[in-house]
Amino acid sequence: MIHLLVVDDEIEVCDFLTNYFSDKGYMVSSATSGEEALHRSRATHPDLVLLDVRMPGISGLEVLHRLRKEENPSKVVMITAIEDPQVIEEAKRLGAEDYIVKPFDLDYLDKVVLRKITTLLHE
C-alpha cells in the first residue's frame, strides 16, 4: 500500500488532505511541525511527502534538506502559499519533485500525487 505523509502546521489542511487521500485508498499519516515530520518519516518511511514550506520551528525546506541528507528516498511535493521564485528554486535544488501553490486545485493535486506514485511503481 502506498503511504503518504501530509505535513502542514494548519491542522485543518492536514485533516482535510488525510481524509481525502485515505478515502482514495492511500495509507496516510500527518504531522503539524517539521520536527514531527522528521520523526514520522523515520518511523514510517512514506512513499510521498506533501510538505508545507513555512512552519514554526523547522521549515519545510529544512525538513527537505534533512530528509535528503539522511538519504531518505521519499518523493516530496511542496505545498505552500509562498510563490517566491527563490524559494521554488531552493526547493527544487534540495530535491522537491514538485511545488504547488495554495490555494491549490484539488484535482491538480490528485493528478500530481497519482503521477508521483505511478513513477514509484515503475522504478
DSSP 3-state assignment of 91?
A: helix
Task: Write down the domain spans for the chain.
Answer: 3-121
pTM for this entry? 0.94
Please write the tens of the pLDDT for every residue from 8-25: 999 999 999 999 999 999
At residue 57's C-alpha, the angle toward residues 7 and 75, to 5°, is 35
Please write the tens of the pLDDT for every residue from 26-75: 999 999 999 999 999 999 999 999 999 999 899 999 999 999 999 888 99
CATH code that applies to domain 3-121: 3.40.50.2300
Find the range with the poorest average confidence among 3-7, 22-26, 44-48, 81-85: 81-85
The whole-number pLDDT of residue 123 equals 73
Q: How confident is the model over 4-11, as a mean pLDDT?
A: 97
Instruction: Residue 119: name the closest of 97, 96, 102, 103 by CA.
Output: 97
Please write the tens of the pLDDT for every residue from 92-104: 999 999 999 988 8
